[in-house]
Copies of this chain bind each other. A is one copy, B any other.
Amino acid sequence: MRKLNVAMIGGGFMGKAHSLAYAGMPMFFSPAPAIPYRKTVVDINDELAKAAADRYGFESYSSDWRKVVEDPGVDVIDIVTPNNSHAEIAIAAAKAGKHIICEKPLARTGAEAKQMWDAVQQAGVKHMVAFNYRRTPAVALAKKYIEEGAIGKILNFRGTYLQDWSADPSSPLSWRFRKDVAGSGALGDTGTHVIDFARYLVGEISQVMGVLSHFITERPVQSGSVDKLGTVKAGADVRKEPVDTDDEMTTLLRFENGAVGSIEATRNAWGRNNYLTFEIHGEKGSICFNYERRDELQVCFSNDPDDRRGFRTIYTGPAHPYGDALWPIPALGIGYTETKIIEAHDFFSAIVNDTEVSPNFYDGYRISVISDAIIESAETDKWVKCL
């Protein structure tokens, strides 16, 4: 079986998820499309890089991503760094002819994303953006139902991504709260996953009307590594710095095909953890999903008899997308791990089979354009076209 050497740039929380995916993917998918060999991991200094290599099972490590990107022994570049370095690394990787998987959002702006999309097109390499949640089997099942016409023409999409990990004003100022690094706040961090759902399940978005809210205007500076999500309780003498990203994004959507929709994304919703949901109404049925109960998809078919119609709670398993490769019984349990394993499978399949995979850099670019439009709309209080 073909082995492809992976260099992972970044060793934080997402690095863990990606490494686990590389180790686990060939155990789930048999035969695997390829073996993703954990060749090299890069972090900001040798000490962190060595620790990451030890922990995540990479053969070697480095603190010089440029050198690694040029390494002829590397086939795939996996970018799991903060958002402000995605473009530079990806463009260099593309020029070096590497296949690229990049964490989301692809870039801080549409312009930046466009450069990345241009670069991979010119290089002819495979490219993917890690909007892993659409790999949840229940989301893939929703896609299947829609493609089969089971709920008819789509009328409406409502999506949310609600978390509470930064609702506490004493939670620290990680890079996710800094516009120069992250590009935006809840919009880019969580809202983009919902935009990805909307485009995947309903179609291209043509106009947006957005509102961005800023609730917590300064936060204590986080000590230690800045690429973790963990909340550090601030002591009395902690220095505070301004937050310049949005805490919450709400937007109306118009789709190219005439459907309408709305999205709400926030990290200030007490009690919500990873409440990534959608509800879709079609002429012939409805579909609902909530990642907090990700084994399940809710679907209602209008053509059920009147006395037997209601939302069906489908637990995904062997009868559903990716199910054969996963667990032999529904509800043994899909976790974050499985979404990343499927993502790895689909990316390496595309490489080996020379096919397209989605969401790719084009999708990532489109999502950045839509995000830019939401920001412009929020600033101007006007509908903004994004197509």
A contact set with B: CB distance below 8 Å: 1, 13, 16, 19-20, 23-24, 26-28, 30, 54-57, 141, 144, 151, 155-156, 158, 160, 162-165, 167-168, 209, 211, 213, 215, 228-231, 248, 250, 252, 254, 260-262, 264, 266, 268-275, 279, 281-286, 291-296, 298-302, 304, 306-315, 317-320, 327-339, 381-383
Contact = CB atoms under 8 A, between A and B. Distances in A.
A112 to B, nearest CB: 26
A264 B264 contact: no
A310 B301 CA distance: 13
Contact of A156 (B155, B156, B264, B336): B264
Contacts of A248: 155-156, 260
Q: Which are the 10 A-B pairs with shortest beta-carbon distances?
A: A271-B300, A335-B335, A333-B335, A274-B331, A229-B328, A273-B331, A306-B319, A23-B23, A273-B330, A310-B314
A296 B330 CA distance: 17
Contacts of A330: 273-274
Contact of A307 (B158, B252, B281, B320): B320
8 contacts: A23-B24, A211-B260, A250-B262, A271-B310, A273-B331, A274-B333, A291-B331, A291-B333
A228 B285 CA distance: 25
Interface of A is mostly: mixed
Contact of A328 (B228, B266, B333, B381): B228
Nearest to A303: B270
B274 A156 contact: no
Contact of A16 (B27, B268, B334): B27
Max count, chain B CB within 10 A of own CB: residue among A168, A281, A330, A383: A281
Contacts of A296: 310
B329 A273 contact: yes
Contact of A20 (B19, B23, B271): B23
B382 A302 contact: no
A20 B16 contact: no
Given A57-B27, A209-B252, A268-B155, A312 B314 contact: no
B156 A213 contact: yes
A311 B313 contact: yes
Contact of A270 (B28, B291, B300, B317): B300
Nearest to A315: B273
B327 A336 contact: yes
B260 A213 contact: yes
Contacts of A286: 164, 269-272
A332 B163 CA distance: 11
A342 to B, nearest CB: 12
Max count, chain B CB within 10 A of own CB: residue among A271, A309, A328: A271
Given A213-B156, A330-B273, A336-B327, A262 B264 contact: yes
Contacts of A315: 273, 292, 310
A260 B270 contact: no
Contacts of A30: 55
B270 A284 contact: yes
Contacts of A275: 331
